[in-house]
Amino acid sequence: MTGEWHHLANVDECGSGTARELVVAGRVVALYCIDGQYHAMDGICPHQGGPLGKGQLDGCIVTCPWHGWQYDVTNGQHETTPLRHTTFDIRVEGNDILVCFSHD
């Protein structure tokens, strides 16, 4: 797997328990911080395009604000179906949170 790393946000902009919607490299990305660990998913809910980065985060579960679909932000797993939403690798370098859009 290879991919390019892109600056997504700064650490000081993303406190624990937060969800954010960001656009980087033409993609909508949902960024979550849980106990100092960062997770990123495709920010568009596959149900009807809701903004997952604007959803309510409860522990590691985000609820889409449009229709209530829920996903585990650590792995993209939908809570009641076999659907697994796209997640992205994250790394932190200093104050920078970087995201990688991997491809084969």
Instruction: Work out the angle at residue 71's Cα, subtended by the Cα atoms of residues 67 and 74, and round it to the nearest 5 degrees.
Output: 155
Euclidean distance between CA atoms 43 and 55, whole angstroms: 10
The chain-wide mean pLDDT, for the chain, equals 94
Euclidean distance between CA atoms 47 and 81, whole angstroms: 12
Query: How far is C-alpha 17 from the geometric centre of its chain's CA atoms?
Result: 13
pLDDT tens sequence across 14-48: 989 999 999 999 999 999 999 999 999 999 999 99
pLDDT grade for 102, boundaries at 50, 70 and 90? confident
Question: pTM for this one?
Answer: 0.93
